[in-house]
Structure formats: C-alpha cells, structure tokens
C-alpha cells in the first residue's frame, strides 16, 4: 500500500478487547470506519465499531468476508493464527507484517532476533525435551524462569526456579510444552518504550514509561521514568533499531529491564500496549491514533509528551471507585464497558496528570 487511506475508509481490527476498542475510537476520530473480528460475544470494541463479525479464527470464510469489507487489517493481539493471516492476506494487507508477528509469538525466535541485532536479553536456552532441560539448567542455572515459548501473557505460562532442583517441577507445571529457560535478571526497575513506524519508514517513539506490576499484571506506568538521559536515549534508539529491522508499520511496545550494566530487552509486543495508555492524556496524539495513522499510510504525530502522568489500571472491583475518580479534575478516566468486574480482569484505567512535562 503506498497511498494514504482517505477518510471514510474502513480499518479491520482482529480482536475486540479494550485495545481494539480504543483503536476503534481513534480511527473514528480520524474519519475512518472500523470492522471488528472477534470470536467472543459482545466484546468491548463492539460498542464503538461500525461492524462486528462474530466468528472463530478457524472460520476462513468469515475471515475472507471480513477482509473484503475493509481496506487494511490490523490486530490487537499477537497470537493471530497463521491460517487466519493467510486467508486475510490473500485479499488485503495486514499491518504490522507477519514477520513481526511471528517474531514476537515465540520467545526463542524473539530472543534470537534481538541478540542478532546486538541487543542484550537475559541468558536463555531452548527447552523442548527433558534432556534440553538438563542442558539448560547446566548453562543458565538458577535463579531463573521457565517460560512457555508461546501464548504467555500477564505473567502466565511461567514458573520460577529458585534452585536447579526446581527445574523438573517447573517443566511439569508448564505441561512439558516447548519453553525457554531464562536467567533471572537483577534489575532495579522496568521501563517500556512505545514506538511507531510509518509506511515511509519514519520512526517516532514516546518517552519511556516506568512500569510496576502487581500479581503479574501491570499496575502503574509513570512518566517520566527514572532514567538517566543516556538510558532514555538508549531505550529509544534500540526501539528504532527493532522497528527498522522488522520493516514494521504500526505501534510496538518494547519492555526493558534497567540494570547497572545497561538495558535488557524483556519482550516486544507488536501492537498497542497497556504501558502506552498514559499517552491518551499525556500527549496530543496517543498510541492508538499513532497506530491508526501508521496502518492507514498517514504521517505520524510527533509523540511529544506535554505532562507528567501516572497511569493506573483498574482491575476487577477497583472500577467500582468510578464515582470518586470522576470528580478528580486531574484524572482522565477510560472504562472498557465490560459487564462483569471479575477478579484480575482489566476493567479500565486512569491517567492522573501530575504536572507539566519534566
Ligand atoms: P513477561 O511475561 O516475560 O513480561 O514477564 C512478566 C514479569 O516477570 C516481568 O515484567 C518481570 O517483572 C518478571 N520477569 C520476567 N522475566 C524475568 C527475568 N528474566 N528476570 C527477572 N524478572 C523477570
């Protein structure tokens, strides 16, 4: 695709969760229509989209019908099955490209790619069999984390090894699925960069945010992050390097561990990212608009931050504080319209502005 999509064009989005919902709102602000493809009934994005197809990703006819009705397809999650991509790509472009998806879907492929770029990752070893596990324990050792190669999120599909003796249990806990043993990094804190690349190869990064997790789920992202200017520069440059190497189009989240010997890449997410939600109130153009601009072939916004911000996820019952939160003039409230506030479910988030950008 070389020409910018005109207003009135339709953006297809695979996945109808909160990320699909916020992408849909951003698309609509730019005069686009959206069509959501989502297997589950009544997804959050359905409330703000023009069209919704409810079908599983194995329904290739439904995917083809969806593709024909849109001008370009993007996604809100990285585990889009390869067959589904084939069906869509025979009809319409999918952005970001499938190489980016394939790279981030598998932790070993991802780490090989990152180290190939000269970036630092945790020491790691591939574990596909009980024998691999023995070798991995000899090379990586403990403390370490065994993570499934695929389908992990919010700390799921992971088991920690305090000593080498924990290896066999961890392997059983993960169901003896192909995994990676990762050396435990003694980091001082975690940051992430939300970067974007346009179809013409222009790269724009938002300021790195500092992330705190609770029970394996992102709790807060704080801007500015506690980083020296050299570290901030490093974080942004390495994100640009990743985006360029993948010939990427769209927004990506890059999670980093901060250590005394430099930044270590934890993982990349080929999509808008929870740790980029602060941009909705901290920047004129947020990550969702930036992503829509990129996939629509538009120029990117400059991504400048105008305020200091703390983003806090509202998980489960926390969303019931809405009345109190909505009277605070410094808080931008973002609720996802989910019916049931189940424990551990992301129901919304708030961005508290804490002063002018510093
Ligand atoms: P992940 O699903 O890989 O993002 O891991 C979830 C969280 O577990 C991270 O945000 C870290 O807090 C922690 N973690 C993951 N990998 C490591 C590691 N190699 N060393 C130390 N902590 C880790």
Contacts of residue 284, Cβ cutoff 8 Å, sequence gap at least 6: 301, 304, 306
Q: How close is the Cα of 147 to the center of ligand 1, in Å?
A: 9
Concatenated DSSP letters of 128-154: SSHHHHHHHHHHT-SSEEEEESSS--T
Give the integer Cα–Cα distance in Å for 110 and 123.
13
Q: How close is the Cα of 301 to the center of ligand 1, in Å?
A: 31
Tell which one of 124, 143, 145 to mutate to probe ligand 1, the residue whose CB is within 8 A of the most ligand atoms. 145
Identify the three-state secondary structure at position 214. Answer: strand
Q: Which portions of the chain are predicted below pLDDT 50? A: none
Tell which one of 143, 145, 266 to mutate to probe ligand 1, the residue whose CB is within 8 A of the most ligand atoms. 266
Ligand 1, atom 13, residue with closest C-alpha: 155
Task: Report residue 14 as tokens.
Answer: 């695979």
Give the integer Cα–Cα distance in Å for 148 and 21.
28
Ligand 1, atom 8, residue with closest C-alpha: 155
Give the integer Cα–Cα distance in Å for 262 and 289.
31
Give the integer Cα–Cα distance in Å for 307 and 309.
6
Q: Which position has the token pair 């952005």?
A: 95
Q: Which residues pair with 313 in a beta bridge?
A: 349
Ligand 1, atom 19, residue with closest C-alpha: 184
Ligand 1 pocket by C-beta < 6 Å: which residues? Answer: 122, 145, 152, 155, 182, 184-185, 190, 213, 255, 266-267
Alpha helices in 223-326 (DSSP H): 229-245, 279-282, 287-295, 322-325
Q: How close is the Cα of 190 to the center of ligand 1, in Å?
A: 9
Ligand 1, atom 15, residue with closest C-alpha: 266
């Amino acid at each position: 695709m070389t020409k910018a999509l005109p207003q009135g064009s339709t953006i297809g989005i695979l996945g109808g969760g909160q990320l699909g919902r916020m992408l849909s709102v951003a698309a609509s602000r730019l005069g686009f229509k959206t069509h959501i493809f989502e297997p589950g009934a009544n997804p959050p994005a359905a409330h703000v989209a023009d069209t919704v197809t409810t079908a599983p990703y194995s329904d290739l006819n439904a995917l083809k019908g969806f593709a024909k009705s849109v001008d370009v397809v993007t996604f809100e999650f990285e585990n889009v099955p390869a067959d589904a991509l084939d069906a869509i790509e025979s009809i319409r472009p999918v952005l970001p490209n499938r190489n980016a998806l394939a790279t981030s879907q598998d932790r070993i492929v991802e780490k090989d790619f990152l180290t190939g770029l000269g970036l630092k990752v945790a020491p790691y070893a591939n574990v596909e069999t009980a024998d691999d596990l023995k070798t991995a324990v000899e090379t990586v050792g403990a403390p370490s984390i065994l993570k499934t190669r695929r389908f992990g999120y919010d700390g799921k599909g992971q088991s920690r090894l305090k000593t080498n003796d924990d290896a066999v249990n961890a392997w059983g806990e993960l169901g003896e699925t192909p995994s990676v043993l990762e050396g435990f990094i003694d980091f001082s804190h975690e940051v992430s960069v939300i970067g974007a690349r346009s179809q013409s190869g222009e790269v724009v990064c938002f300021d790195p945010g500092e992330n705190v997790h609770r029970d394996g789920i992102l709790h807060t992202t704080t801007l500015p992050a506690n980083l020296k200017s050299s570290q901030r520069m490093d974080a942004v440059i390495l994100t640009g390097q990743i985006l360029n190497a993948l010939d990427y189009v769209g927004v990506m989240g890059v999670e980093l561990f901060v250590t005394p010997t430099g930044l270590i890449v934890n993982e990349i997410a080929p999509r808008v990212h929870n740790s980029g939600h602060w941009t909705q109130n901290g920047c004129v153009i947020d990550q969702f608009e930036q992503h829509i601009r990129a996939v629509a072939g538009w120029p990117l916004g400059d991504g400048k931050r105008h305020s200091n911000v703390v983003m806090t996820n509202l998980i489960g019952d926390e969303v019931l504080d809405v009345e109190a939160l909505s009277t605070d003039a410094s808080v931008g409230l973002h609720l996802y319209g989910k019916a049931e506030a189940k424990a551990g479910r992301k129901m919304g988030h708030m961005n508290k502005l804490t002063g002018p950008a510093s």
